[in-house]
Amino acid sequence: MPPKYSKMNFSIYSDDSFMRMAMLEAKMAYEQDEVPVGAVIVSKNVVIAKARNSVQQLNDPTAHAELLAISAAAEFLGSKYLNECTLYVTLEPCPMCAGALFWSQMGRVVFATKDEKRGCGLYSPTIYHPKTEVSEGLFADEASLLLKAFFKNKR
């Protein structure tokens, strides 16, 4: 039987591989009893920031994975504009995070699963910067299952 993936098609510099890193961050959040969301920011195929939701741990309602990753990436690059970067995040950004992505002029956003309660798509699609390219669905099932497991345990 042939292997499912040929080596030729596999790249460590792929959306898949970066979203997998974001999923790892989400799993670490889960283990720390945080709503399991993880984010990774990539610039020219280099991961320059990783973060997970840390609202409980930092006791800070603004400590979402995306916001922490944006601050870290801006510090790393020495620039408040991240228009050459891609953000990978396991859950659709909320209005706060989409607003932060606007100010950073993030080049590209890839999110896994939709947030039916608080995703920014429910409010206004124009919260994102007009130049930001947004795509969704990568690892959506895995990200969604992790979130469901978290909220099931909470009940």
Binding site for a second copy (CB under 8 A): 55-56, 59-63, 67, 70-71, 74-75, 78-82, 94-100, 102-104, 120, 123-124, 126-127
Considering the complex, state which of residue 74 and residue 143 has its C-beta at the smaller distance from a second copy.
74
Buried b (16+ CB within 10 A) or exposed e, 59-95: eeeebbbbbbbbbbbbeebeeeebeebbbbbbbbbbe
Considering the complex, state which of residue 28 and residue 96 has its C-beta at the smaller distance from a second copy.
96
For CA atoms 134, 136, 139, 142, the dihedral sign is: positive
Considering the complex, state which of residue 16 and residue 150 has its C-beta at the smaller distance from a second copy.
150
Catalytic residue among 34, 66, 92, 142: 66
Number of H helices, E strands in the chain: 5, 5
φ/ψ bin of 46: left (φ > 0), alpha (ψ from -120 to 50), beta (otherwise):
beta
Tell me whether residue 25 is one of the annotated catalytic residues. Answer: no
Give the catalytic positions in this structure.
66
